[in-house]
Amino acid sequence: MRHRAKLVGLRSSVKCQVHAVLAGAGVQVPMSDLLGVGGLELLDQLDLPAAGRARVNSVRRLLDALDFEIDTFTRLASSQLAGDRGYRAVQTLPGIGPVLGAVLVAEIGDVGRFPNPHRLASWAGLTPKHHESDTKVHRGRITKQGNRLVRWAAVEAVQRAPKASRVGLVRDRVGGRRGRNIGVVAAARELVELAFYALRDGQVRLMVRPAAAA
pTM: 0.78
Band (pLDDT 50/70/90 cuts) for residue 34 is confident
Band (pLDDT 50/70/90 cuts) for residue 117 is very high
In angstroms, the CA 103 to CA 42 distance is 35
Chain segment 54-74, per-residue pLDDT in tens? 999 999 999 999 999 999 999
Which of 147-168 are b and which e, b meaning 16 or more Cβ less than 10 Å from the residue's Cβ? bebbbbbbbbbbeebeeebbbb
